[in-house]
Amino acid sequence: MNGIVLIGHGSVRSASGAAMIRLAARLRHQTVAPVAEAGFLNYSRPSLAECIEKCIRLGVDRLFVQPYFLIDGVYVQRDLARAIARSAARRTQVRVVVGRSFGDHRLWAPLPSIGRVL
């Protein structure tokens, strides 16, 4: 079964990941994948490891991890890569595929001009 984990940075501000959590709920509701979760690298919960564990408990064997970042900066290239390597190394029954950050997605650009210049 396929699963999706949206992974964001996390914050000491509790509501900072609300949009990402709502997006994961929308993915579940629209049945994009039978399992869709949202997790964080730092500060906030659930962690990436907790999300992966939940997905496995729900029967996921192919997991798509989508970084909820605009660019593949240090958190994506180093921290996320390390966290996935740690989690996936212990769970050989799960195939993990990592997506690209949103900033590289073809649908982001070119965006039409909206609004007005101040």
Residues recognised as catalytic: 9
Integer Cα distance of 27 and 76 in angstroms: 22
Q: What single string gives the DSSP state of each residue in 87-100?
A: HHHT-TTSEEEE--
Integer Cα distance of 13 and 18 in angstroms: 10
| Cβ atoms 57, 51 nearer than 8 A | no
